[in-house]
């Protein structure tokens, strides 16, 4: 079974400026691109991320869009790939593809499978179609219906569809003309490794920034190059930033080991902050103070006795001089 586009009928008498305005708006929409949202991506432990873009494009422009972002139109060669895409569709807001008033409509998205004219091969799993990676290897297919001989005379490209979770047509493959636009397209990004998600440490959920420009809190695996921001409780060191990067043993992992939110370090922990007597922590600094009977010296760390005669500087009698005048030594009569 194949699908065809429902082309809108053109009415008469539309003003030229209106048509130009619609064309300009469409162009700006293509240029500005789509801001990804929570639920638009799924990453797997085997180093792949599938991302769903709700933009109407032809197959060619969808393929170019994936390539410009560093990926490719998605190949679904393994059952695990299909399972990941099913999780992706189940968690995405499909109303953006179906229209706000058409929830339940089958949303179609391009995948990276195409066939040139007169390349039909009904006895092969891919029926003469090739992946955009240039091969025909696959351990998974999910065709919606038998191939049609009449479809062999023109280029054909493949979409997957998804509606409500119980819809029997979910994730079925169907082919149609490559030159029409569909609701969305599915990109696949491959990375050198993945980092596991970071559990919160009492300050809230961890935020992630991915290489494909998604800000999220709900991915189970994060691709190489992602940055994690972990909110920490108020009595600890503050929010922490961790990078998913190369390790010395060649693996990929977070740049630091947990726990990340260590208790806030006191300025006075090391060498009493340089203070001779008392060290007092402030917000972002520390101050030295002295015990009763001593005063802080000009260096801000030493303590000198308030009583200038404290150290018995005189051989006979030491008499303090009022108002900080030091002391004097008196001889006995």
- Are 173 and 224 contained in the same domain? no
Report yes or no on 15 lying in a domain: no
DSSP letter, residue 266: P
- Convert 158-167 to b/e letters by CB count within 10 Å (16 or more is b): bbbbbbeeee
Q: What is the pLDDT of residues 159-217, one digit of tens each?
A: 999 988 888 889 999 999 999 999 999 999 999 999 999 999 888 999 999 999 999 99
Rounded to whole angstroms, the Cα distance separating 71 from 214 reads 14
Comparing 95-104, 107-116, 204-213, 308-317, the range with the smallest average pLDDT is: 95-104
Number of domains in the chain: 3
Report yes or no on 6 lying in a domain: no
- Are 82 and 213 contained in the same domain? no
Report yes or no on 250 lying in a domain: yes
3-state SS record for 268-292: CCCHHHHCCCEEEECCCCEEEECCC
**131/147: higher pLDDT:** 131
Burial class (CB in 10 A: 0-12, 13-18, 19+), 2: middle
**Percentage of the chain exceeding pLDDT 70:** 84
- Are 162 and 217 contained in the same domain? no
Report yes or no on 243 lying in a domain: yes
Report yes or no on 9 lying in a domain: no
Confidence category of residue 6, pLDDT binned at 50, 70, 90: very low
- Are 106 and 182 contained in the same domain? yes
- Are 178 and 90 contained in the same domain? yes
- Are 224 and 295 contained in the same domain? no
Sheet holding 207-209, edge to edge: 215-216, 207-209, 227-230, 240-246, 252-254
CA distances from 293 to 84, 303, 321 (A): 73, 9, 16
Whole-number mean pLDDT of the chain? 83
- Are 93 and 219 contained in the same domain? no
Structure tokens at 2: 């194949």
- Are 41 and 136 contained in the same domain? yes
Report yes or no on 13 lying in a domain: no
State which of 136, 171, 190 marks the end of a domain. Answer: 190
- Are 130 and 202 contained in the same domain? no
Q: For residue 115, give the nearest of 107, 125, 103, 101 by alpha carbon.
A: 125
- Are 85 and 129 contained in the same domain? yes
**98/65: higher pLDDT:** 65
Rounded to whole angstroms, the Cα distance separating 87 from 81 reads 10
- Domain limits at 184? 33-190
Task: Write the CATH number for 39.
Answer: 3.10.100.10
**Percentage of the chain exceeding pLDDT 90:** 52
Which position has the token pair 């008498």? 13
State which of 204, 222, 254 marks the end of a domain. Answer: 254
Predicted confidence at residue 273, as pLDDT, reads: 83
**80/148: higher pLDDT:** 80
Which position has the token pair 């008196």? 330
Q: Under 8 Å CB-to-CB from 79, ≥6 apart: which residues?
A: 139, 140
**327/23: higher pLDDT:** 327
Task: Write the CATH number for 298.
Answer: 2.10.25.10
Q: Is the pLDDT of residue 151 over 60?
A: yes
Q: Around Cβ 253, how many Cβ atoms within 10 Å?
A: 18
Contact by Cβ (8 Å): 290, 303:
yes
- Are 183 and 63 contained in the same domain? yes
Mean pLDDT of all residues in 240-245: 95
Beta strands 184-190 and 107-115: pairing type?
Answer: parallel
Report yes or no on 127 lying in a domain: yes
**24/33: higher pLDDT:** 33
- Are 175 and 40 contained in the same domain? yes
Query: DSSP string spanning 148-199?
Result: -GGGGGS-EEEEEEE-STT-TTTT-EEEEETTS-BSEEEEEEE-S-EEEPPP
Confidence category of residue 29, pLDDT binned at 50, 70, 90: very low
State which of 159, 190, 221 marks the end of a domain. Answer: 190
Predicted confidence at residue 4, as pLDDT, reads: 46
Report yes or no on 7 lying in a domain: no
Contact by Cβ (8 Å): 314, 333:
no
Confidence category of residue 99, pLDDT binned at 50, 70, 90: low
């Amino acid at each position: 079974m194949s699908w065809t586009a429902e082309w809108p009928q053109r009415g008469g008498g539309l003003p030229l400026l209106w048509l130009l305005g619609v064309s300009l708006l469409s162009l700006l929409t293509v240029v500005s691109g789509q801001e990804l949202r929570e639920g638009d991506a799924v990453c797997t432990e085997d180093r792949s991320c599938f991302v769903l873009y709700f933009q109407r494009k032809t197959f060619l422009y969808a393929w170019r869009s994936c390539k410009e972002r560093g990926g490719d139109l998605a190949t679904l060669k393994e059952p695990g790939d299909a399972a990941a895409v099913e999780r992706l569709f189940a968690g995405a807001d499909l109303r953006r593809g179906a229209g706000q008033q058409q929830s339940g409509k089958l949303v179609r998205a391009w995948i990276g499978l195409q066939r040139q004219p007169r390349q039909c091969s009904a006895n092969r799993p891919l029926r003469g179609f090739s992946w955009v990676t240039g091969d025909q290897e696959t351990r998974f297919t999910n065709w919606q219906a038998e191939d049609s001989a009449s479809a062999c005379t023109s280029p054909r490209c493949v979409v997957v569809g998804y509606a409500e979770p119980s819809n029997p047509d979910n994730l079925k493959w169907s082919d149609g003309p490559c030159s029409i636009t569909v609701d969305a397209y599915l990109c696949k990004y491959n990375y050198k490794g993945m980092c596991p998600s970071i559990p919160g440490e009492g300050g809230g959920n961890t935020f992630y920034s991915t290489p494909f420009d998604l800000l999220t809190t709900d991915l189970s695996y994060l691709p190489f190059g992602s940055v994690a921001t972990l909110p920490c409780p108020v009595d600890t060191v503050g929010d922490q930033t961790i990078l998913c990067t190369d390790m010395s043993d060649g693996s990929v992992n977070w740049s630091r080991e947990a726990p990340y939110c260590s208790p806030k370090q006191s300025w006075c922990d090391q060498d009493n902050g340089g203070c001779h007597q008392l060290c007092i922590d402030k917000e972002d600094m520390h101050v030295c103070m002295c015990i009763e009977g001593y005063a802080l010296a000009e260096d801000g760390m030493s303590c000198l006795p308030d009583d200038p005669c404290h150290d018995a500087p005189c051989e006979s009698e030491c008499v303090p001089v009022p108002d900080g005048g030091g002391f004097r030594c008196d001889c006995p009569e």
